[in-house]
Amino acid sequence: MLGAAGALLCLACGMAAGSWMRERRLARWRMLSAWMEAISGMRVLLEQERPSLPELLQSAAECISSGTGAQQAAQRLKHTACCIASQPLLSVTDAYASACCKITATWEKQEERAAMERLFRQLGSGTAAMREQAAAACLRRLKPLEEHARMEAEKGGKLCMQLGMLLGLMAGIALW
Amino acid sequence: MNWQETISFFGNCMPKSIGRALASQQEGTVREIRMRAGGRGSLLTHKGELVCTGLMSQGQIAQTAEALCDHALYARAEEQRQGFVTLRGGHRMGLCGRVITQGQSVRALREISSICVRVAGQWHGAADELLPHMIDEDGRVRSTLVIGMPGMGKTTMLRDACRRLSEAGIHMCVVDERSEIAAMCAGVAQLEVGPNTDVLDGCCKEAGMRWMLRAMSPDVLVTDELGSTLDVQAVQEAARSGVAVMATLHGRDMETALSRGMLYQLVRDRIFERYALLDTRQVGRIVSICDEQLRPLASKEAV
């Protein structure tokens, strides 16, 4: 019906869909890894230097490596820092919520979102030890999520690609 | 930090009613800003108290305290334990709330309920009266102690003397434990302390004075509010090494200051060559200047 060109087009579409699914999984893994890098950096800063909150978030953002997912995490930290610096009466939780609205990450799941919101709620008050403890607790919460996301990205990502290609091929053959 | 920057800083960090009231004030007129949970904010000006509209909650007070400290109140636990924190621009924020104690010592402050911000000001000429007594016939700076009640201009006088001596080419070293003399921010002094002045910010007086002696070879060491025997020991060490010291001490008059023991020790060892006593009612007014044995050199009748 569609001919050879149509079949090839279906195959390409299937592969693109598979690739998109894979990229989403990779992005989630990168974002979780980025959060963990940033929070580890925060812990050291809280313990050693005790900077102001905007400085802490800016420095933590600089610990993050590049790549889709990681970039969004860094941008959120920077945006939160800017919000607090420009509107000092804004709470840390509100500043982070504003950053989440501005810098969206569709691959982000409720578990990590809740963990980060909880961290930002705790970062806004208490002693240095309490804040450092909050960061450590958040790391513990994110660790299994990151492990799971890595597995999903490595195994599931490959599977998505193969499945996309297969479905595209089948659709192409059926429509030929 | 000039007055416009000060208004902008306070306006951003404090409730709007206080920000509006501050914006209408002239430079040098506001002395204190007070806020209480469940009460109204107020400004203490030269003309009297100006009460702002709108009641403030405890949450607002706590949020204001955090904002004024650039969201780094947690890092100022040691200062909080002493009851106040120095802000950007050298302003001093006194705090009240629920104190958590351990034995006899203060461990932390929670549920901040009151704030009193003492607005710092640069007053050129505050040390005009004192300076002639500080320089001897050979042009050497005499060690000088300024004694006065809180809020009567001790630090302002010390800062102005430091600036003037520094401008005259004397190498001044400031140990600014509470960031009140120079108000350092990102390595830059927010208040004028002179072009020939090095500032060690946030370091305790005892360690700071030793540091300066070792590292910066000062002509004059400047520090604020001597308060402990360790501070006195550090001053003695500096004086013995031939460096002049300029410092301040809390006290209503010479008698009450001497009764604290610390001043007695300093007079006994003749550490300071000049003592300036400030008036208890008029800010920045010297009522008497004494020599190293506390004999008055010049005195004025208190208003």
pLDDT tens digits, residue range A117-127? 999 999 888 88
**Percentage of chain B lying above the pLDDT 70 cut:** 98
Residues in A closer than 8 angstroms to B64, CB to CB, are: 89
Res A83 pLDDT > 50: yes
Average pLDDT, stretch B231-249? Answer: 90
Q: Of A54, A126, A128, which has the smallest distance from its Cβ to B71's Cβ? A: A54
| B28 or B218, greater pLDDT | B218
Using DSSP's 3-state secondary structure scheme, residue B248 falls into strand
> What end-to-end distance do the CA atoms of chain A give, in Å?
5
* pLDDT for B296: 86
Contact B71 A87 (CB under 8 A): no
Is A45 near chain B, with CB under 8 Å? no
Rounded to a whole number of angstroms, the distance from the CA of B64 to the nearest CA of chain A is 7
Q: Of A54, A91, A128, which has the smallest distance from its Cβ to B74's Cβ? A: A128
Res A96 pLDDT > 50: yes
Contact A88 B75 (CB under 8 A): no
Is B231 in contact with B248 (CB distance < 8 Å)?
Answer: no
Using DSSP's 3-state secondary structure scheme, residue A66 falls into coil
| pTM exceeds 0.90, yes or no | no
Contact B72 A52 (CB under 8 A): yes
* pLDDT for B27: 82
Q: Rounded distance, CA A30 to CA A32, Å?
A: 5
* pLDDT for A2: 63
**Long-range CB contacts for residues A138-145, cutoff 8 Å, separation at least 24:** A138/A39, A139/A36, A139/A39, A139/A40, A139/A43, A141/A115, A142/A32, A142/A35, A142/A36, A142/A39, A142/A112, A142/A115, A143/A36, A145/A32, A145/A109, A145/A111, A145/A112, A145/A115
Rounded to a whole number of angstroms, the distance from the CA of A84 to the nearest CA of chain B is 8
Burial grade of A130 (CB within 10 A; 0-12, 13-18, 19 or more): middle
Res B40 pLDDT > 50: yes
Q: Which of B274, B216, A96 shows the shortest CA–CA distance to B200?
A: B216
Q: Rounded distance, CA B9 to CA B101, Å?
A: 33
Res B79 pLDDT > 90: no
Residue A10 binned pLDDT confidence (cut-offs 50, 70, 90)? confident
Sequence letter at residue A23 = E
Give the residue from chain A lying closest to B73, CA to CA.
Answer: A52
Is B98 in contact with B109 (CB distance < 8 Å)?
Answer: yes
Residue A98 binned pLDDT confidence (cut-offs 50, 70, 90)? very high
Res B70 pLDDT > 90: no
Question: Is ipTM beyond 0.85?
Answer: no
Res B303 pLDDT > 60: no
Rounded to a whole number of angstroms, the distance from the CA of B72 to the nearest CA of chain A is 4
Contact B64 A51 (CB under 8 A): no
Count of other CB atoms within 10 angstroms of residue B214:
8
Using DSSP's 3-state secondary structure scheme, residue B43 falls into strand
* pLDDT for A131: 92
Res B112 pLDDT > 60: yes
Residue B292 binned pLDDT confidence (cut-offs 50, 70, 90)? confident
| B114 or A165, greater pLDDT | B114
Block residue for tokens 């003037």? B164
Res B300 pLDDT > 50: no
Contact B63 A87 (CB under 8 A): no
Asked which of A14-18, A27-31, B82-86 is least confident by mean pLDDT, the reply is A14-18
Contact A126 B74 (CB under 8 A): yes
CA dihedral B156, B160, B161, B163 (to 10 degrees): 140
Q: Tell me what the pLDDT averaged over chain A comes to.
A: 87
Residue B102 binned pLDDT confidence (cut-offs 50, 70, 90)? confident
Residues in B closer than 8 angstroms to A124, CB to CB, are: 66, 71
pLDDT in tens, B134-180: 988 888 899 999 999 987 889 999 999 999 999 999 999 999 988 88
* pLDDT for B302: 36
| A76 or A1, greater pLDDT | A76
Residues in A closer than 8 angstroms to B77, CB to CB, are: 127-128
User: What backbone phi and psi angles, to 5 degrees, belong to B277?
Assistant: -100, 125
Is B271 in contact with B235 (CB distance < 8 Å)?
Answer: yes
Average pLDDT, stretch B200-220? Answer: 91
* pLDDT for A1: 58
Rounded to a whole number of angstroms, the distance from the CA of B16 to the nearest CA of chain A is 10
* pLDDT for B164: 94
pLDDT in tens, A133-165: 999 999 999 999 999 998 888 887 677 777 877
Res B190 pLDDT > 50: yes
Best mutation site among A127, A131, A133 for testing chain B: the one with the most B CBs within 10 Å?
Answer: A127
Give the residue from chain B lying closest to A86, CA to CA.
Answer: B12
Average pLDDT, stretch B24-46? Answer: 88
Domains of chain B plus CATH, in order, are: 3-118 (3.30.450), 131-299 (3.40.50.300)
Residues in A closer than 8 angstroms to B67, CB to CB, are: 88-89
Give the residue from chain B lying closest to A92, CA to CA.
Answer: B71
Q: Which two structure tokens, joined as six digits, stand for B77?
A: 């636990």
Residues of chain A numbered 64-123 and touching chain B (CB < 8 Å): 84, 87-89, 91-92
> What is the number of structural domains in chain A?
1
Half-sphere exposure of B286 (CA within 13 A, CB side): 23
Burial grade of B7 (CB within 10 A; 0-12, 13-18, 19 or more): middle
Average pLDDT, stretch A89-104? Answer: 91
Residue B298 binned pLDDT confidence (cut-offs 50, 70, 90)? low
Give the residue from chain B lying closest to A130, CA to CA.
Answer: B74
Residues in B closer than 8 angstroms to A84, CB to CB, are: 71
Rounded to a whole number of angstroms, the distance from the CA of A168 to the nearest CA of chain B is 54
Q: Which of B280, B268, B272 shows the shortest CA–CA distance to B297?
A: B272
Is A54 near chain B, with CB under 8 Å? yes
Contact B67 A131 (CB under 8 A): no
Range of the domain at A122: 3-175
Residues in A closer than 8 angstroms to B63, CB to CB, are: 89, 91
Q: Of A53, A92, A127, which has the smallest distance from its Cβ to B72's Cβ? A: A53
Strands B220-223 and B84-86: unpaired
Average pLDDT, stretch A96-102? Answer: 93
Q: How far is CA B141 from CA B138, B166, B209, B273, in A?
A: 9, 11, 17, 10
Q: How far is CA A32 from CA A55, A77, A117, in A?
A: 22, 14, 14
Question: What is the distance of C-alpha B260 from the center of its chain?
Answer: 20
Residues in B closer than 8 angstroms to A57, CB to CB, are: none
pLDDT in tens, B4-19: 888 999 998 998 889 8
* pLDDT for B274: 93
| B136 or B122, greater pLDDT | B136
Is B31 in contact with B23 (CB distance < 8 Å)?
Answer: no
